[in-house]
Structure 1
């Protein structure tokens, strides 16, 4: 599929919109990951949980 050429004025705004939707998508994926990690009881996920909580602590500081 060939990408349609957009005028420079709209390409900037569409890029921002795409970035926003991408960030929202990644946020949803992260939430799903955290939820699946919290609900499952595999020992491997204990490591995941500790790294996630460590990252959250880093963000809060």
Structure 2
């Protein structure tokens, strides 16, 4: 689910909230969340390396990397 509400503490699946009622909805474990973000970071690092970069801040503002759909 992609609600784009994590910063509001109202995550409907309980991943990004401190509300005990909402947290009960999350069926995973903290390790699942840790692993997810670890693999997202690994994928980002691989994509950056393919483009010849080593840090995300190297591509911030580089609009030439954007593709129009």
Short-chain TM bin: 0.3 to 0.5
The structure with the largest helix share of the pair is: 1
With the length of structure 1 as denominator, give the TM-score of the two structures: 0.45
With the length of structure 2 as denominator, give the TM-score of the two structures: 0.40
